């Protein structure tokens, strides 16, 4: 769960609440479209859920999960490349 602040409405779930997945890694990205947070999650062996990476968009009025990968396994660490490098 990502909290922008302690205000309860400013939060978004990056995992299915039914699955006991934990966020294992976080990394910030800041581009022309605004702040973005990438969250990697661990897997939940009990429910058979693999981890994934969620893209969380943080704007002044809204926090949303813009995208997420398919189940990819347990995400240990994330790293964002410098801008303009490809």
Partner 1 sequence: MLWEYLRKVCLRECVSYSVSIKSSSGDRLAACIRGQGLPSLEIYALDNSGIQNSSKVSTRSSRHPSFDSSASRAEPRISLEAFDTPKAEVSSCKWSLCGTYIAVGRNDDRVDLFDSRFIKHGPVSRMFHGEPIKRTPWKSLWGITGLEWVEGAGNAQQALVSGGTDGQYYELPINTSDVRLQVVYDYGIYVMLTLFATSLPKWRRTSGVSQWAISANDKPHWSCE
Closer residue to partner 1 in complex, CB, 10/65: 65
Q: Report in angstroms the alpha-carbon separations of 27 from 11, 33, 34.
A: 17, 16, 14
Classify residue 33 by burial, with Cβ atoms within 10 Å: 0-12, 13-18, 19+. Answer: exposed
Query: Should residue 48 be labelled a site residue for partner 1 when binding is judged by CB under 8 A?
Result: no
What does the alpha-carbon distance between residue 82 and residue 62 come to, in Å, rounded to a whole number?
A: 25
Q: How far is the CB of 73 from partner 1 (least distance, A)?
A: 3
Site string for partner 1, 1-40 (x = CB under 8 A): --------------------------xxxxxxxx-x-x-x
Place of tokens 């702040």: 35
Closer residue to partner 1 in complex, CB, 8/48: 48
Query: Should residue 57 be labelled a site residue for partner 1 when binding is judged by CB under 8 A?
Result: yes
Q: Single out the residue of 58, 53, 62 nearest to residue 26, CA to CA.
A: 53
Sites of contact with partner 1 (CB under 8 A): 27-34, 36, 38, 40, 43, 50-51, 53, 55, 57, 66-70, 72-86
């Amino acid at each position: 769960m990502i909290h922008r602040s302690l205000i309860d409405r400013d939060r978004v779930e990056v995992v299915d609440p039914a699955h006991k997945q934990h966020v294992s890694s976080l990394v910030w990205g800041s581009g022309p479209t605004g702040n973005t947070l990438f969250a990697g999650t661990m897997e939940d062996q009990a429910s058979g859920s693999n981890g994934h990476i969620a893209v969380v968009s943080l704007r002044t009025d809204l926090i949303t999960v813009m995208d997420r990968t398919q189940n990819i396994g347990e995400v240990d660490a994330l790293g964002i490349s410098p801008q303009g490098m490809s």
